[in-house]
Amino acid sequence: MSLKVAPSVIAGDQAELGREVRAIDAAGADLIHLDVMDGHFVPNLTLGPGIVKDLRPHTHLPFDCHLMLADPGRYVETFARAGADRMAVHVEIPGIGDVLRAIRALGKMAGLVINPGTPVAAMEPHLGDIDFALVMTVHPGFYGQTLIPEALDKVPLLRQTLRALGRDVPIQVDGGVTVDNVIQVVRAGADEVVAGAAVFKAPDYRVAIQALRDPVAGA
Ligand code: DX5
Ligand code: ZN
């Protein structure tokens, strides 16, 4: 299975999001990663469902919405209606099991996200209710940070835990992934990577996306 690349549009030109989405689609992205931040769960503010809805006609690629919200359950239906195909919510939020089940009940893929400071054990009770897992390798809030190696170490442990439960779901890694460290990310067991700065701050999106996939052949 080849590595999937999900460029995160918060690293793109925020006044030109439609153009940016079309550009990464044309450049070979697998998913469009949309970071939704509420200024409470994380110390930053980004896009809301109105922007997701207006971006929807710009691509047929799946919308991978990473909801960094203090109360994600309040918004999953709105994001589903706006065009989200996948919604990832944080295990650090109380009552997240109900939110995961609500996402699936809406016919969307449910992802469970874990922050660098949270142990994998916190995910265990929910692993039967997910379609993918997301391991954060930076503290969420901002693109362009440096990958935290200890956070990446959780990927093999999570894979082991999933296998023990007979669950075969993709693991996504998000935060500080670059062409220089993607080989370690793949060796740790990632199926998908999110890439903000590594794609949008590169001179050529197609070359950047391909460069993230390339090291995989020799992994
Ligand atoms: C961080 C976001 C990430 C981030 C990725 O809060 O969830 O998706 O934007 O950007 P890079 O790849 O630049 O760390
Ligand atoms: Zn993200």
Distance (Å) from CA 167 to ligand 2 centroid: 23
pLDDT tens digits for range 130-181? 999 999 999 999 999 999 999 999 999 999 999 999 999 999 999 999 999 9
> Which run of H or of E encompasses 90?
strand 86-90
With a CB cutoff of 8 Å and minimum separation 6, the contacts of 63 are 31, 32, 34, 52, 55, 56, 83, 84, 85, 86
Angle at which helix 205-213 crosses helix 17-26, to 10 degrees, equals 50
Mean pLDDT for 28-49 is 98
Average pLDDT of the chain to the nearest whole number? 97
Q: What are the structural domain ranges in the chain?
A: 4-218
Q: What is the mean pLDDT of residues 101-116?
A: 98
Is-above-0.85 flag for pTM?
yes
- CATH class in words for 4-218: alpha beta
pLDDT of 216 above 70? no
Type of residue at 27: A
164/39 Cα distance (integer angstroms): 37
For ligand 1, say whether the CB of 8 is within 6 Å of any of its atoms. Answer: yes
What is the distance between the alpha carbons of residues 166 and 197, in angstroms, rounded to a whole number?
Answer: 35
Which pLDDT score is estimated for 215?
73
64 is catalytic: no
- For residue 32, the cross-strand partners are 63
- Residue 219 pLDDT exceeds 70: no
208, burial (CB in 10 Å: exposed 0-12, middle 13-18, buried 19+): buried
Residue 194: CB within 6 Å of ligand 1? yes
Q: Is the confidence at residue 13, as pLDDT, over 80?
A: yes
DSSP 141-203: T-SSPPP-HHHHTHHHHHHHHHHHTT----EEEESS--TTTHHHHHHHT-SEEEESHHHHTSS
Which residues in 36-50 are b (16+ Cβ under 10 Å) and which e? bbbeebbeeebbebe
pLDDT band at 214 (very low <50, low <70, confident <90, very high): confident
Question: Active-site residue 174, yes or no?
Answer: yes
Whether 82 has a pLDDT exceeding 80, the answer reads yes
Give the pLDDT confidence score for residue 183 in this predicted structure.
97
Cβ–ligand 1 contact at 143 (below 6 Å): yes
If you measure from the C-alpha of residue 67 to the centroid of ligand 2, how many angstroms do you get, rounded to a whole number?
8
Q: Of 13, 25, 30, 35, which is the active-site residue? A: 35
**Cα–Cα distance measured from residue 187 to residue 115, given in angstroms and rounded to the nearest whole number:** 20
Per-residue CA distances from 163 to 89, 127, 158, 160, 166 (Å)? 21, 10, 9, 5, 5
Quick check: CB of 176 below 6 Å from ligand 1?
yes
Ligand 2 centroid, distance to 174 Cα (angstroms): 6
